[in-house]
Structure 1
Amino acid sequence: MRRRQETAGKEGGITWVARNPAPSYNARVHKADTLFAIVEQLRSEGVDARHALADTDLTPTQLASHNCRMSYRQLEVVIRNALRLSTNPAIALNAGSRVCVTSYGMYGYAMLSSRTLAEVVDLTNKYIRIGTPCCMAVMTKSETSVLCCLSPMHWYDETTEIYRFAVEFALAAHQKVIRDLLGPQFVFKKIMLRYGRPKHSALYSEFFGDQIDYRQAENGYEFDAAHLHAPLPFADPRSNAMVSEICETMLLEIEQVSDMAGAVRRILVENLGHMRRLGDVAKTLNIHPRSLRRALAAEGTSYSEVFSSIRAELAIRYLRETDMTSEDIAYRLGFSDAANFRHSFKRLIGVPPSEYRRNAKHGTVQNV
């Protein structure tokens, strides 16, 4: 099986998994199709698009433009807004099902003009990042089946709702696109998920059937290899060659974007509890600390902001999933004392740790 590089870090019984490479987290160079599908689903549920886009610096008018570009940071904000604003447990599944093959622009037309699904699989492995997916996809063909492994782009903890949202969206979107190409009768043979069975697992059966395995080594799906050789109805080799060249240019533009903040984030995630100083991270990246500071500043952030974000995420995990005291959490995360931890947490999250934990037990905090 072809796999993306995977590393893991563990801190306080909580495991974080990071897969590389991921596209830029901060740069606004990505097509907004995924974000658009989520906002449209929220609108169908009665949520004002302005509320769905809160804290993104994007307006509904901008999002409606075919030239709209977004960052993965903005996509994360919208996903968190969706988890907070929607009462629909199928929000991610329904949003993903709004995606059609032409939603992906040139990448979609490259799939549509392919001769067979086998060519589409090759295109997916090469150009999927053009479509701003929630999950990276790696598809492997064998004589009997096709396996697609899905890895959320910037969300590494499978216990969180944002991780599950990314996987659900990706599964629904992939199924919809393949049905656009082969017809509505297409079904997955099997689905694999890294996380445990969620409360709304019955919805999975409605969308994908009953062959669903939880707590697996990978997220993904499998389908019969016989589908690979069926001729596609809109095959056009000349058009396919033209749009594939455009896809190559678009992919190069995305890959050339610097994402130092994303690199720092991945290093910290992989080394939680062992690496806290900027100098240590710079050494791992094989650059001078001053160069790292300048690169982060050019992306509109700083080492302290990235580090604080990671530390806040882990603090939330501890508060929600363990009985650790504020003193224990402060020590584990490297704060000088519990008071310093409480002050930092309230500044970042808006409420003291004790209030956050109390609200979490009653289900009244924003999903993380």
Structure 2
Amino acid sequence: MPAKPHLPDADADVPPHVIRQVLQLLASRGHSVDRLCKGLGFTPENLRDAGFRVSYRQTSMLVRRAMQRWGDPAMGIATGARQTVVCFGLPGLGMLTCPTLGEALLYLIKYQRAAGTLVINELAVIDERSFMIEAATRFHDPELEPFFIEEIFVSGVAVARAMVGSHVRPSRLELRYPRPAYASAYSEYFRCPVVFNAPLNRLICDMSWYHCPLPTHDSFMQESLQAQIDQLLSIGTPRNDLVESIMNVLRASVDEMPGLAQTGAALNMSERTLRRRLAELDTSYQRLVDQVRYECALDLLRRSAMPLVDIAMATGFTDARNFRRAFKRWSGILPNQIRQGVPAPRLLMPERAD
């Protein structure tokens, strides 16, 4: 049987910053965020986890639902306008250390994936008088392209205005897609000429904005703080969104792991389909169960003084002996060695049948 092709839009590789803003926007009009998230593989509570990641597929499905309920096609503008530098997470903090607005934008683009963007952004100097930010969607999705382009350009201008003043105004906005019915909203927000059906999505700005100094810059802290952020933002291999969804279900019940059928039901998927999908991803349900137990055990060993018997119970084992044996199989070392400062290896246990 030929291997199923890899689907990049299913890689859970970006923080859910856009999803958070969309849900807050809908909640402000009384819509249920739990209903909006249902069946997508995550809950509103997952969005509070700093390490939680989503895929383009999950985000696009939620955005489509939200647009149906919002009833206003300019939802991308409304979402972007809510953004602050804090919404970008650690990259936003790094922006504040930069000496100028242009360097802050370059820093954000360097870490755009970690900032939660679902488009590809580039900054280039056009000539001595102007520079541009170009944005392109990561996946071909004409229906949602306006939303994602609006969100990134509006949020960029919103953050720039918050950093250096509300008088920030681009010189021109060029957009690839046709003029929408709500085109006046663009002119109202950006306060500049807007061109539709352009070859590229570009925000063109006067060079004076690039060189505009940031009041938050600290020359003594910039290098050290950015070095710490660089280390924290080191990117690992992204998980598939199905794998991430399963692990979210498992993390909620580490001490009493649900079976394959129960987890499938939580994801609106049959046991047979779930088993097949995991096989296509070259993993197994047991592998994910053990991964979650291992992660939980490491966290408790590092952050608490709990006796091993209590950690065993908290991770689904009946006694400390079985826990030690499992931990040695997962890691090649014993639990007490973690508390002695031995670095924790990746999960070593080979695949087993479910």
TM score, norm. by length of structure 1: 0.60
1:27 is displaced (CA, Å) by 3.3
CA deviations 1:44-87 (Å, max 9, x no partner) are 12211112213222212222344433222221121111122111
Deviation at 1:175, TM superposition (A): 0.9
Partner of 1:70: 54
Please, which of 79, 86, 91 is the counterpart of residue 63 of structure 2? 79
1:196 paired with 2:174, answer no
2: distance between equivalents of 1:75 and 1:37? Answer: 11
Alpha carbons of structure 1 residues 239 and 30: separation in structure 2 relative to 1, 3 Å:
farther
Counterpart selection for 1:152 from 109, 131, 137: 137
* 1:329-340 → structure 2 map (5 Å cutoff): none
Cα drift, residue 295 of structure 1: 9.6
Higher relative contact order (CA 8 A, sep 6+): 1
Shift of residue 174, structure 1, vs aligned partner: 0.9
Which residue among 115, 138, 151 is the counterpart of 1:169? Answer: 151
SS at match of 1:221: strand
Deviates more, 1:26-35 or 1:125-134: 26-35
**Which has the larger Rg?**
2
Q: Is the 8 A contact 1:54 1:81 kept in 2?
A: no
Q: How does 1:246-285 map to 2 (within 5 A)?
A: 246-254=228-236, 256-257=237-238
Pick the aligned partner of 1:42 from 26, 29, 37.
26
Name the CA distance, whole Å, in 2 between partners of 1:168 and 1:36: 16
Moved more, 61-70 or 72-81: 61-70
Identity %: 23
- Alpha-carbon distance in 2 for matches of 1:122, 1:56: 33
Equivalent in the alignment of 1:308? none
What root-mean-square deviation, in Å, do the aligned CA atoms of Structure 1 and Structure 2 show?
Answer: 2.7
Residues 13 and 239, structure 2, Cα contact 8 Å, conserved in 1:
no
Deviation at 1:125, TM superposition (A): 3.4
Aligned equivalent of 1:143, options 124, 128, 138: 128
Q: Tell me if the contact between 1:148 and 1:221 (Cα under 8 Å) persists in the aligned partners.
A: yes
Q: Provide, for residues 163-207 of structure 1, a one-character-per-residue CA deviation record: whole Å limited to 9, x for no partner.
A: 111111111111111112111111111100001101111211221
Query: What letter is aligned with 2:64?
Result: R
Where does the alignment leave 5 or more consecutive residues of structure 1 unmatched? 1-22, 262-292, 301-368
How far did 1:296 drift?
5.4
Match of 2:214, SS?
Answer: coil
Following superposition, the deviation at residue 247 of structure 1 comes to 4.1
Residue 31 of structure 1: SS of its match in structure 2?
coil
- Listed one character per residue, the Cα deviations across residues 299-340 of structure 1 (whole Å, up to 9, x for unaligned) are 89xxxxxxxxxxxxxxxxxxxxxxxxxxxxxxxxxxxxxxxx
Name the SS for the 2:122 alignment partner. strand
| Worse overlay, 133-142 or 60-69 | 60-69
Residues of 1 paired with 2:131 and 2:186: CA distance? 20
TM-superposed deviation, 1:132? 1.4
* Paired position in structure 2 for 1:234: 216
For residues 246 and 66 of structure 1, the distance between their equivalents in structure 2, rounded to whole angstroms, comes to 16
Q: Tell me the CA shift for residue 216 of structure 1.
A: 0.9
| Equivalent residue, structure 2, for 1:357 | none
2:79 counterpart residue number = 95
Counterparts of 2:57 and 2:227 in 1: how far apart (Å)? Answer: 28
Kindly tell me: are residues 31 and 166 of structure 1, through their superposed partners in 2, closer, same or farther at Cα, counting changes over 3 Å?
same
Do the aligned partners of 1:54 and 1:78 also contact (CA within 8 Å) in 2?
A: no
State TM-score, norm by structure 2: 0.62
- Rounded to whole Å, the distance in 1 between the matches of 2:49 and 2:281 is 29
Q: Secondary structure at the match of 1:248?
A: helix
